Amino acid sequence: MQLHYFPTPEATNTLATDELRARFLLGNLFQPGAITSHYTDLDRMITGAALPTTTSLPLPAAKETGTAYFLERREIGILNLGAEGLVQVGGTAYALGTLDCLYIGQGEKDVLFVNGAAGQAQFYFVSTPAHAKHPTAVVRRADIRTDPIGDPAKANRRRINKLIHPDGVKSCQLVMGFTEFEPGSVWNTMPPHTHSRRSELYLYFDLGADAVFHFLGTPEATRHVIVRDREAVMSPSWSIHCGAGTGAYRFVWAMGGDNQVFSDMDAVPIATLK
């Protein structure tokens, strides 16, 4: 498990391109036959991926959590970006198709990632600390009913699919979902916002050969990183987070912090951006 400690806003302004990418961007997450994981000081969130092949992959115990097993004091959300696979929790196996999500609550000791018959399961996960147990639950892609928002004239027509949230699958603090764009729309969350009460992780996927310009930094000193398919960006609570792609794309968003209110945002007027 790799540890990540974040620079201050002032230090971020001094970083060269390679340094900025090293501090905020996570690449090479999806490794066949392996679990990758990254522990951040963003509300102690852990993110990573599991790609089981011929051998199933257990969610490992990690020295960094300071506990006997991974979920002893944590919860986790798992989204399958590939073909059907299984996640076994204790003695129960959960089949996850493409874009199906599994929430596992605090205290589950044995979690196993298993490949499906198609042999192409790709599990992305985000974990946050937890102080209370909530039941394991599945959210099926086919059951999500989300109306589009945004304006085609502003190139931001999209659907925000909430998977783990107060009005759906309950959790201790983790909030998770994914956003998908209609053809011709590329802008996410412009005007941007911050939320000092919560940190956020983004995983961009289904980009193909396209790229996303992900904007970060304080509103008066914005920076950007170029993100490719299945790369993740870590977003501190003081940073804006918005992006524009060279084509339509999807991204997974996950938050942890003081509250779970999706609309808890501090808007940043476009006129104040620098």
What's the pLDDT score for residue 198?
80
Fold of 148-272: Jelly Rolls (2.60.120)
Mean pLDDT of 181-199: 87
CA–CA dist 142, 260 (Å, integer): 24
What's the pLDDT score for residue 111?
97
Q: Which residue has the tokens 């959300």?
A: 77
* Whether the predicted pLDDT of 47 surpasses 80: yes
Least confident of 106-110, 117-121, 184-188: 117-121
The CA radius of gyration of the chain, in Å to the nearest whole number, is: 18
**One CATH from 1.10.3720.10, 3.40.50.2300, 3.30.2310.20, 2.60.120.10 for 2-19+28-141:** 2.60.120.10
* Whether the predicted pLDDT of 264 surpasses 80: no
* Whether the predicted pLDDT of 207 surpasses 90: yes
In contact, 96 and 112? CB cutoff 8 Å: no
- The model's pTM is 0.94
What's the pLDDT score for residue 169?
93
Two domains, one topology: 2-19+28-141 and 148-272: yes
Computed over every residue of the chain, the mean pLDDT equals 93
> What's the DSSP call for residue 12?
H
Residues whose CB falls within 8 Å of the CB of residue 204, separated by 6 or more in sequence, listed in order: 212, 214, 227, 228, 229, 230, 231, 232, 233, 243, 249, 250, 251
Q: Where are the beta strands (DSSP E) in 31-165?
A: 35-40, 46-50, 57-58, 74-80, 85-89, 92-96, 101-104, 111-115, 123-129, 137-139, 158-164
Least confident of 16-25, 114-123, 211-220: 114-123
Domain boundaries, the chain: 2-19+28-141, 148-272
Per-residue pLDDT band at 62 (split at 50, 70, 90) = confident
Phi, psi angle pair for 64, to nearest 5°: -65, -25
Bridge partner residues of 26 (DSSP): 232
Strands of 242-245's sheet, edge to edge?
Answer: 187-188, 242-245, 212-218, 221-227
Residues whose CB falls within 8 Å of the CB of residue 230, separated by 6 or more in sequence, listed in order: 29, 30, 81, 203, 204, 205
